[in-house]
A and B are shown apart, each in its own frame.
Chain A
Amino acid sequence: MTEHKTESNTGHNTALLAVAGISKRFRGLAAVSHVSFEVRPGEIFAVIGPNGAGKTTLFNMIAGAFAPDEGSITFAGERIEGLRSDQIARRGIGRTFQLVRPFPALTVEDNVIIGALMQTKTVHDAEKIARDILARLDLLDKRAQIASSLTLPDRKRLEVARALATGPRLLLLDEVMAGLRPTETDRIVATLRDLNRDGVTILLIEHVMRAVTALASRILVLHHGAAIAEGDPEHVLRDPAVVESYLGAESL
């Protein structure tokens, strides 16, 4: 109940990211239809839903991989729908890819330097930023390795590191825990919580419920491209519609 009150009190002016009624169709098939939600500064917001629910499509629209057919996306008070992905990145939205794609032939450090060059003009400063971030993500002693030689968990961390190096105000994480062992998941969860405490707002798509419940302050549930529930984890995860469409199916 209290959660509901705060939500109505936070108007459009306080949301970092405001998604309003966006839709996307592929060859007539509605991948996302009329989805709206807001991410407030400093929170961790999770989008969950079964496979094919439209999570990644939603993400790709926010990150600028393609434009929504209708609706608006506002970031920090500025309309960003339809901008190119590099323009969106420069406005302060960092992202990871569901299938990790670090720059394969470059070293771990060079990967992160490239991200850092978005917030600084000199390679020297970018190196400093990169070192800090690599240390944070436990990759510092692997900095001279070629990215393609890393293990999957390390590549996922590298992907987060590169996105983080751009100095984003909002970090979009697309299933960074998928395919990780529980200990690895816990390690990333701890890192993300740490980052969030330092002021990075996070929007994540996640399948691993253990991570979602540990991290998210609010959750949006997508089903067949439409939002079927939104709110704090406690309420959302008990919502009958959610249990039936998603959680139930998975836990059975």
Chain B
Amino acid sequence: MTDIWQRLPTRGKILCLVLLAAAIAAPLVADRYLLSVLILVFYFAYLGQAWNLLMGFAGQLSLGHALYLGLGAYTATALWTLFGIGPWIGVFVAIPVAAAAGMVVGWLGWRFAIEGVYFALLTIAFAEFTRIGFDHLQITGASAGMFLSVNSPGSDKWWNLGGGPLLYYYLAFILAAAATLLVARLRRSPLGYRWLAVREDPEAARAAGIDIFRAKMIAMLISAGMTAVGGVFYGFYYRNLFPSQVFDIGRSIEIIMAPIIGGLGTVFGPVVGAVLLTPLGESLTALMQHFGVNTPGAKSIFYGLTLMVIITLQPSGVWPWLARKLGLDNRPRP
């Protein structure tokens, strides 16, 4: 960990500390609405880190991360509503469930040499398959959804994630910070190097002794497991779950936005992307509502256009460019 810290230039260290302090102190000044936006920022930064691990580092495009999000959400929520098992224990069931699903997808895809966009299609197919399955799964309420009681006596406790926005704020913040640290650490680990090699050139990676199937499977395992934790957060934060929402392709696309905008394969990209994008999307919604336009599609159109513009003009994302501008890029330029 100290190693990562030392690699940062002084300016970066100061900026990191200032931002961390600001994030910790934010609830003192932020109102309820601003807090809810910040919760989303951290939530998307966290999920972005999870997805970026698989796509940005190991180079495997998944457009079905809603699968792991939904499985995580449903597992923990069902354990709590059906058996009274709290989310702090439930999360340790949710992680292996999603990771196992990830293994199935990865194994089917990579064992049979389904690469690139075809792999992406396979991930969508699995997410859709599961969505339809949950639409008919009676025990979790099928398509009518599953609900957590709001403010019923005894539910307002940290141990069952029944608290107010402050609890969720700090929880989301810790998740995002921990994920960023984890990714930074993995990036400089042997595993991280192997992922980069697989991403850059699978055949050359093999020649360097790397078992590329194994490397990809590990990336999938961690990415799916992390996403499941985000799913547990989703389930308890929103307190309702519908297969058509949590497993939706739109959910998967939401997850990939921050890392793509921020910068694929960079440690800070997903964070920067979430910080830039979420407030924009939210204020757009607020603005539309202010003018009395209530259209569910507007935010998605904005996301879609942003994707198109960024991928056309700045395919490596905002962060590499921003880091250079701020002098945080400690790599000597050629």
Contacts and interface: CB of A to CB of B under 8 A. Distances in A.
B194 interface: yes
Contacts of B201: 101, 103-104
A117 B334 contact: no
Interface stretch (B101-109, B208-216, B292-300): B208-216
Interface stretch (B88-96, B110-118, B185-193, B242-250): B185-193
Contacts of B188: 123
B334 A105 contact: no
B197 A114 contact: yes
B208 A97 contact: no
A104 B200 contact: yes
A121 B190 CA distance: 7
Contacts of A149: 334
Residues of B contacting A: mostly = helix
A170 B211 CA distance: 20
Contacts of B197: 103, 114
Interface in A3-55: none
A209 B332 CA distance: 40
A89 B209 contact: yes
Given A63-B207, A95-B207, A106-B200, A126 B190 contact: yes
Contact of B196 (A65, A84, A106): A106
B204 A113 contact: no
Contacts of A166: 208-209
A145 interface: yes
Contacts of A162: 204, 208
A212 B157 CA distance: 77
B207 A97 contact: yes
Contacts of B325: none
Nearest to B204: A101
Contacts of A113: 193
A175 interface: no
B190 A85 contact: no
Interface in A52-85: 63-65, 84-85
B260 to A, nearest CB: 16
A246 to B, nearest CB: 28
Interface string B169-206: 00000000000000000001110011011001101111
A94 B208 CA distance: 7
Interface residues of B, number: 22
Interface string A108-144: 0010011101100111001000000000000000001
B331 interface: yes
A107 B209 CA distance: 19
Contacts of B208: 86, 89, 114-115, 117-118, 162-163, 166
Contacts of A210: none
A193 B331 CA distance: 34
Contacts of B331: 107, 144
A107 B200 CA distance: 12
A95 to B, nearest CB: 5
A97 B197 CA distance: 15
B188 to A, nearest CB: 6
Given A86-B212, A90-B209, A103 B204 contact: yes
Nearest to B330: A144
A89 B193 contact: no
Nearest to B265: A105
Given A110-B193, A144-B331, A163 B207 contact: yes
Contacts of B203: 65, 85, 97, 101
Contact of B210 (A65, A86, A101, A126): A86
B207 A117 contact: no
Interface in B204-236: 204-212
Contact of B207 (A85, A107, A121): A85
Contacts of A87: 211
Contact of A105 (B190, B200, B210, B332): B200
Given A104-B200, A104-B201, A123-B189, A85 B334 contact: no
A123 B334 contact: no
A105 to B, nearest CB: 6
A226 B194 CA distance: 38
Contact of B204 (A64, A90, A97, A118): A97
A126 B192 CA distance: 13
A117 B194 CA distance: 9
Contact of A118 (B189, B196, B209, B212): B209
Given A86-B206, A123-B188, 19 more contacts: A86-B209, A86-B210, A89-B206, A89-B209, A95-B207, A103-B205, A105-B200, A114-B193, A114-B194, A114-B210, A115-B208, A121-B190, A123-B190, A126-B190, A144-B332, A145-B334, A162-B208, A163-B207, A166-B209
8 contacts: A64-B206, A94-B207, A95-B207, A97-B204, A103-B201, A104-B201, A117-B190, A166-B208
The 7 closest A-B pairs by CB, nearest first: A103-B200, A89-B209, A118-B209, A85-B206, A86-B206, A90-B209, A101-B204
